[in-house]
Structure 1
Amino acid sequence: MSRWIWPATLTALALAVVLPSPAGWGLAIGLLLLSLGSTAWAAVLRRRVQVEVVLPARLIRGEHAELTVVATNRSRLPATRVRVEVQLPPGGLSPSSLSFELAVPARSTVRRGAPVTAFNRGRWEPVPRPALVGDPFGIHEIATRRPPTAAPVVVLPDVLPVRRIHLPAASPLAEVPDRRSLLTDPTAIVGVRPYAPGDPLRAIHWPATAATGTLVRRETERAWARDLLVVVDLDHDGWERHDHAPEVGIVVAASLLADALLRLRQPAGLLTSWVDRVGEEPRATAFRIAGARPHLDAMLTHLAVAKLHPGIPLPDLVGRDVRRHQPGTTVAVVTGRPGRHLADALRPLRRNGLAPVVVHVAPDQVLRAEVPPTGGCPRIPVASDVPLSRLTL
């Protein structure tokens, strides 16, 4: 609220009493009416003007978007000046702050936008400062009773095209038969047997039936799984210190999931370790294998806020939470330090019919130094010291 109008009004009234004159009284009364009117005007707008800051719920790292300020005036008086300042999180959105000045007519809504850029993954919440409204004369300025609202925005990791990484699940048929599947693969004929009541008619092998004179049906192999499970190592000990590899690992995981569900039309799931607060015991967090687009959005949102922590060692996570998956499932393990313990955990997966693959994310000099043990599983190196704009997956 302006600090000068009421002292000036009281001074003019005092002078009008001490030195009475028509001009003095006219000035004092005019200032008094102006003070009362502007104060009442600003007080009405304070209660009836509401401001909201709107951003897209999800952005992709590097994406340009628009931050919109929505000012709603529910009073019969126009709000000729509405000032809004928004502080953007310096770690994820740019620019660092935005300022808006709007004029909102009576009983109307005004929108004003400004460009912003998402440059780091995570969950970011704009912090709007109290919105200020004023009277038409520019005398009073007061904060609205309801502070501006702003919903958080989730910046998703980069999703790169996958062309170089070939996983077993990307082939037309997987490599291991699924003993638990209820379906069969009509192209994988392993023999014939006499037709039994209840067998489907489409399974009859007509050439063999004609040759033998009795009904004979085809015997086919059970269907094979084409699922993908991405396991991301979020344990501090799974990555080199002071390196960009963990961020590249998140990008690799997000790209594999998006490629499987969107391009290959294959079900996919995600497995990581997780802690809600510092000092809490880590737990395994799994997203079931599914093929729906909302499922992909949920997994990418999880990766957007993922951080390294003293978590469950990767061999324990793989050995405890992966074996229950259907044989034939490709298990892509994304880590920065594959070693003997991980190799020991991957061998039983192969024996159980799964197809594990180690995606080794590290600087190029580490990738060239020595090939770590992988338990007989394929190893796909991804250099972490290459800019994302030139990274090939």
Structure 2
Amino acid sequence: MNAKQPFQLIGFILLFGALLSGSGFLWIFGGLFLFLPAAQEWWQTRIGRWLKVDWTADQSRVMPGTPVQVTVRLHNRSWLPLPATWLRITLPDHVTVTGAAESSQSNQRTYIRLRFDVPARKTAALTLDLTPHKRGVVWLTDVECETIPLFLGEPSTLTLPLSFSLLVYPTPLPLPPLAFDETEPEGSSLSRQRQQEDMTFLRGVRPYFPGDRIKNIHWKATAKTNTLQTRLFEHTARSNWRVVGHILPSYEPSLQRHNHDENERTISCMAAISVYCRRHSLSYELFLTVKQRGRELYHLPAGSGKSHHLYVMTQLAQLHHYFTTPLTSLLRRLEDSSSKDAILLITPRLDEHVQASIDRLLRRGHRVAVLDVSGEQAALRRYETTAIQRRRAVSP
């Protein structure tokens, strides 16, 4: 017997007694008991229109271990108060929450419950502290709301839409001492591929040519000569670093092993390289052994600056479900490059096939540096070519 049946039975008995006695009070009282179940069904179908949940946070992009202050608001647009209303929110298990009424973990998920007492036509707010401990994206698309029922034993549960996301960047791995100048390609002569203008050193002016940037026009010289003059800057040569990240398959059936820890170290090392290049204003392009939108590998064109660094960190944070490609095929493509740029390989597995690919790169005049992340600490190995075109490993 559910909670509606006793009300219906009581209402039927009262109406039967009113029929026998002719009492108007029994007619009204019995009709009320029969009307309440219908009122409950009407309330359950329309309560979702009058309740709304929003979620605001003081940060949207954080590093692991950074607490984020979150404010949850429950808006009640109905004319009935909602005492003891519970919100049930599901988060990943690596997220710790403080400030919730109830918190529990099960099946690699964290479940929290928040209690609100919302008056009619009012809004109630509650502040939480979320602390993510792993990289990734924390998504919240809906929450479960539970209100006090009109009938005991039948709680009113509904799902409220919610749009919130928190991006957690990977933790940069501690790097060994790096000296990128020592691993730059041989030769200091300028070429079209490596020739750039250093905006900090002005060399002179020249007449304006169609296609010159407006921001490079020297307006004082233009005023003196009555013709447009363009600034000339000193030339500089900067190596275009090619950072190659070796991502292993999530699971290798032939070896019966999971590579989650190795891939996390590789991603953390690439994040550290991005931070290093950002601090030293180095340009680099990124290659990953994962498929991207139908392509055989992931390739990010060369760039530098804050926007390039944030884009790289965002892509590394969102790197989860992927299809990997062989590292040797990626290195084979780099062998045919006309420019002799430096290659920085980040790999957790340095086997004989990778060594053979490095030998071919060296024979073609490339410089290769390898960051081995098979252990807890990254180890740097630099390779050079000798006069007889043999490989020699130089300790850092």
Q: TM-score, normalization: structure 2? A: 0.65
Say which SS state the counterpart of residue 82 (structure 1) adopts.
Answer: strand
Deviations 1:203-224 (A, max 9, x none): xxxxxxxxxxxxxxxxx99621
**Aligned-partner residue type, residue 87 of structure 2:** V
Any unmatched runs of 5+ in structure 1?
A: 187-196, 199-219, 381-393
**Aligned-partner residue type, residue 250 of structure 1:** I
Give how far 1:253 is off: 1.1
Matches within 5 A, 1:29-178: 31=33, 41-52=43-54, 57-66=60-69, 68-90=71-93, 92-94=94-96, 96-126=110-140, 128-134=142-148, 141-144=155-158, 147-160=160-173, 162=175, 164-169=176-181, 176-177=187-188, 178=190
Q: Which runs of 4+ in 1 moved over 6 A?
A: 135-140, 364-368, 371-374
d(CA) in 1 for partners of 2:331, 2:64: 29
**Aligned-partner residue type, residue 269 of structure 2:** V
> Equivalent of 1:267, from 267, 275, 283?
283
Structure with the largest fraction of strand: 2
Give how far 1:315 is off: 3.4
Q: Paired residues, what number?
A: 333
**Aligned-partner residue type, residue 80 of structure 1:** P
Give how far 1:336 is off: 2.2
| Equivalence for 1:254 | 271
CA gap 1:14/1:306 in 2 versus in 1, 3 angstroms: closer
d(CA) in 1 for partners of 2:347, 2:30: 78
Checking the alignment, whether the CA contact within 8 Å between 1:13 and 1:28 is kept in structure 2 is: yes
Checking the alignment, whether the CA contact within 8 Å between 2:55 and 2:72 is kept in structure 1 is: yes
- 2:10 is aligned with 1:12: yes
d(CA) in 1 for partners of 2:346, 2:92: 29
- 2:333 is aligned with 1:333: no
CA RMSD of aligned residues (A): 4.6
CA gap 1:157/1:319 in 2 versus in 1, 3 angstroms: same
d(CA) in 2 for partners of 1:11, 1:222: 93
- Report which structure shows greater RCO (CA 8 Å, sep ≥6): 1
| Equivalence for 1:288 | 301
d(CA) in 2 for partners of 1:309, 1:345: 28
CA gap 1:161/1:311 in 2 versus in 1, 3 angstroms: closer
d(CA) in 1 for partners of 2:248, 2:153: 58
Say which SS state the counterpart of residue 147 (structure 1) adopts.
Answer: strand
- Mean Cα displacement is larger for which, 296-305 or 308-317? 308-317
Any unmatched runs of 5+ in structure 2?
A: 97-104, 200-205, 208-232, 385-390
d(CA) in 2 for partners of 1:73, 1:254: 44
Matches within 5 A, 1:198-213: none
d(CA) in 1 for partners of 2:342, 2:67: 35
Provide the identity percentage. 18
CA gap 1:321/1:79 in 2 versus in 1, 3 angstroms: farther
d(CA) in 2 for partners of 1:134, 1:366: 56
